[in-house]
Amino acid sequence: MRIVTGKVYRHCDGVSRRGFLAAGALGFGGLTLADLLRAEAASGIPSSRKALVNVHLDGGPPQMDLIDLKPEAPLEIRGELRPIRTKVPGIEICELLPRLAGIADRIAFIRSLVGAANEHNAFQCLSGFDERDLASIGGRPALGCILSKLWGSPGDPAPAFVDLLQGRALVRNSARPGFLGPAYGPFRPDISHLFSRPLEEGMVKELARLGAGHSTSLALTGGLTVERLDDRVRLLGGLDRLRREVDASGSMDAMDRFTRQALGILTSGRFAEAMDLSREDPRSVARYTLPEPPRVERFETGDDASASLKFLMARRLIEAGVRCVTISLSDFDTHSKNFERMRYVLPVLDCGLHALITDLEERGMLGDVAIVVWGEFGRTPKINGNAGGRDHWPKVGMAMLAGGGIRGGQVVGATDRWAAEAVSRPVDYKDVFATLYRCLGIDPHATTLTDPTGRPQHLLDRGEPIKELVG
């Protein structure tokens, strides 16, 4: 699957629409966008443009090498990296994050993240829940899927939720809709030709088992044009007219509306252009690009240096009307070569996240767009043997939040002298989600979704907004 931009078609409304369509948009096989949109229209679009960018540090970031360095700890714990001062007196972060240090007043640093499910995927970072929760009825939905249910509308020119995760987060289908069903699944374009993230051999096999339906193709089927797609929509309408006439429930009319919405999204110049970075101002592209690549070797399953442009794509999608964008940065699964890998990936994170925060601020969007950066768990305080790595450590992890009304310039929580356990102000994943919902203007304890058994399910079963950050 590949993203293509074809001939520009001028429609009678005067809008240029590119041939930017799904091979399965009208049911030609696999999970189509129409499948994703086939659901009840929500009650309308809120007047604000609240949105979320969820950044998954794929593999589990080492907390003590990013924002909770322990320079007084023994060498086998503190490692090779050193802290630097930030714009906020008393707050120090890793020397490999100098840009973020310069805007630390816009960022909240959580050093006491607890409650990790110890699962090697992004599901908890996208939902707040263990993947086994409500598994008997399909499982919990990701937050983006919930926004599709609450805020999505058949007339939207862009989907509510776009999932750009790569690596194990994609392979393990972390952005799934759970009990809401596939109608509220993410719009998931294949970006592998834009951003290289090689998979481990085992994950290649896992991805193959998912089949072609794991991504939403944006490529034209051979010989298929916008005009032919329009003709097929009209044909389907004619074939289904009799069934619609005898369908008292109106479900056939709904089917027709969602098929048309699928076509509308995929031919929308607004959404197509957001996915096309060649349309961005070169000065802006330069802002999101490292001036020079890292001077260390890229790890075999890591993103390359161009991954900082994922942050630019997220901004463009939010501007196009998307409410939730997920992106990932790999590979933080540092069982070996921890420090070499940090020297490669942290400058990419530093560049991309700094550019996103400052760009949104200059555009007047930062107050509406919340950003969270985290991973599935932390890393062991002690460096492992001769491999020079850090292993899985679910006892404590880290997160960074910005935008969306978050009060930056502060640290929440503290760990012991080895960054091994939270010793003050533990923050659960669900507390972070309660905070994000607050930023989005949603009360997760008052809002419910009906599960397949007919029972109402609150968006969160526990967790409170972090009062230091949102009051």
What's 211's domain CATH number? 3.40.720
| Position 42 pLDDT exceeds 60 | no
- Do 365 and 423 lie in one domain? The reply is yes
Last residue in a domain, options 209, 239, 268: 268
Residue 54 lies in a domain: yes
- What is the per-residue pLDDT across 369-384, written as a single tens digit (0 to 9) for each? 999 999 999 999 999 9
Last residue in a domain, options 268, 286, 306: 268
Residue pointed to by tokens 């599960």? 451
Residue 40 lies in a domain: no
Q: Measuring CA to CA, which residue among 465, 464, 459 is closest to residue 127?
A: 459
Residue 37 lies in a domain: no
Tell me how long the chain is: 471
Residue 39 lies in a domain: no
Read off the pLDDT of each residue in 10-21 and give the average, rounded to a whole number: 35
- Do 315 and 413 lie in one domain? The reply is yes
Which letter does DSSP use for residue 328 in this model? E
| Position 235 pLDDT exceeds 50 | no
- What is the per-residue pLDDT across 381-391, written as a single tens digit (0 to 9) for each? 999 988 999 99
Residue-level pLDDT at 216: 63
Half-sphere exposure of 228 (CA within 13 A, CB side): 11
Half-sphere exposure of 55 (CA within 13 A, CB side): 33
- Do 233 and 294 lie in one domain? The reply is no
**Any idea which of 132-146, 206-220, 268-282, 315-329 has the lowest mean pLDDT?**
206-220
- Do 73 and 142 lie in one domain? The reply is yes
- Do 4 and 117 lie in one domain? The reply is no
- Do 165 and 212 lie in one domain? The reply is yes
Last residue in a domain, options 203, 233, 268: 268
Read off the pLDDT of each residue in 279-297 and give the average, rounded to a whole number: 94
Residue 43 lies in a domain: no
Read off the pLDDT of each residue in 221-245 and give the average, rounded to a whole number: 46
- Do 453 and 352 lie in one domain? The reply is yes
CB 445: neighbour CB atoms within 10 A? 15
Residue 285 lies in a domain: yes
Q: Report the alpha-carbon distance of residue 7 to residue 11 in Å, rounded.
A: 13
Residue-level pLDDT at 218: 52
> What's the whole-number average pLDDT of the chain?
84
Read off the pLDDT of each residue in 405-422 and give the average, rounded to a whole number: 98
- What is the per-residue pLDDT across 90-106, written as a single tens digit (0 to 9) for each? 999 999 999 999 999 99
Read off the pLDDT of each residue in 8-23 and give the average, rounded to a whole number: 34
Q: How confident is the model at residue 273 (pLDDT cuts 50, 70, 90)?
A: confident
- Do 326 and 450 lie in one domain? The reply is yes
Residue-level pLDDT at 156: 77
- Do 146 and 12 lie in one domain? The reply is no
Q: Report the alpha-carbon distance of residue 234 to residue 240 in Å, rounded.
A: 10
Q: Report the alpha-carbon distance of residue 438 to residue 431 in Å, rounded.
A: 11
- Do 264 and 282 lie in one domain? The reply is no
- Do 404 and 422 lie in one domain? The reply is yes
Residue 235 lies in a domain: yes
- Do 85 and 10 lie in one domain? The reply is no
Q: Which domain holds residue 264?
A: 1-30+219-268
Number of structural domains (the chain) is 2
Cis peptide before 331 (omega within 30 of 0): yes
Residue 36 lies in a domain: no
Q: How confident is the model at residue 4 (pLDDT cuts 50, 70, 90)?
A: very low
